[in-house]
Amino acid sequence: MTAISIEQAQAIVAKAFLESAPTITSISEIPHGYSFTSSQTSYILDLALGSNVDATHSSFLVVSTDDASPSGSLPNSLSLFPQLLNTIRSNTSIPIPSPILDETRSVIPHTYLITPIYPIVSTHLISLAQARESAILSAQQSAVIDLQLGQWLGELHKGAQNDYFGLPSATTPADPSYDWQDTFVALLEEQLDLAATRHPELPIDGFRATLGRAISAFLWSDVDVPSLVWFTGSPDDVFLAFTPSGQFSAFALLPAFAHAVWGDPLLETFFIGASNAFWEGYRAVRGEQDSAIMVFPRQRTKRVWYDVFLALVVLNQRDKMSDDKTSWALDCLHKSAETLKNAPVS
């Protein structure tokens, strides 16, 4: 994790926004949910513009320690984020801003990414996860939000597609993968190996045994087109803007793509417990055939494996940390190990 001072953050905004000359009035670390990585920390900055004393605007800041992962390993480098965000903007209507990436280390000794300024302060922003937990959304508001998120995810999977599977890279890999099963199994085994050393109490051998059965049945070989999958994106990364009177007005999406991958749309964490409104939005964009990704028993078995992969990433990124997501991950892994013993693969 990377902690920066308000003075360092002020130097960042002074360089990024010369004309508006903002002054930071507060800086708050954003607690990532499933998207947490040990090498990237996100903040929300409240900004006063010009001669104003009170904050009227805000910006998201992501700071990386630049502990580069080995090629082909999670998490993705911060330097790849602008490329991914540009792909999303070019192929969807998802409201992702064009951020400023600074790798010079001339302002702070880290690479960072900062979003354009939003005309709203952090006190009028709340994550969708917090809004749901606090039960501040009406049934109609929840349905509208879920419908929109389903449509955006459908746009992402339909519009942002690639020639090969795997983790994003600045250039085409020397040996690109055209088989999702090979790609996913390699990513999964890397996480299993890490978890085996850090959490020896987990049923890793059981996962390896059932994994062999799934591979033999070509469980993941039904994916033909690599879609851009946010993967760990969740309600924790979606912020809702409210007017002073308390009316929901807009979305702000946190640029948290450390675990994005070109792969199977079903890998998306948003599908866990998705509402009818969410599926309605998704189907409206992708169509009945392409949206039928969790209908058959073998597809539901795939989703269990994707839960396992997510839980392993959550644990391995947090290492010795303990929070609600680590508790979820441990519970998920133990339950999934039992489920997969007899889960259908054909």
Residue spans per domain, the chain: 6-125, 126-341
Model confidence over 93-131: pLDDT tens digits? 998 888 999 999 999 999 999 999 989 899 999 999 999
**With contact defined as beta carbons under 8 Å apart, do 8 and 19 qualify?**
no
Residue partners of 69: CB distance under 8 A and separation at least 6? 75, 76, 77
Q: Per-residue confidence at 68, pLDDT binned at 50, 70, 90?
A: low
Name the region of 218 (left: φ>0; alpha: ψ -120 to 50; beta: rest): left
Whole-number Å distance between alpha carbons of 231 and 100: 23
Model confidence over 308-338: pLDDT tens digits? 999 999 999 998 888 999 999 999 999 999 9
pLDDT for position 244: 72
Model confidence over 284-306: pLDDT tens digits? 999 988 888 888 999 999 999 99
Among 54, 4, 333, 297, which residue's Cα sits nearest to residue 188? 333
Whole-number Å distance between alpha carbons of 129 and 108: 31
Tell me which DSSP letter residue 251 carries.
E
Q: Per-residue confidence at 242, pLDDT binned at 50, 70, 90?
A: confident
- pTM given for the model: 0.94
Q: Cis before residue 226, ω within 30 degrees of 0? A: no
pLDDT for position 215: 98
Whole-number Å distance between alpha carbons of 199 and 278: 35
The owner of tokens 């010079």 is 104
Specify whether domain 126-341 bears CATH 3.90.1200.10: yes
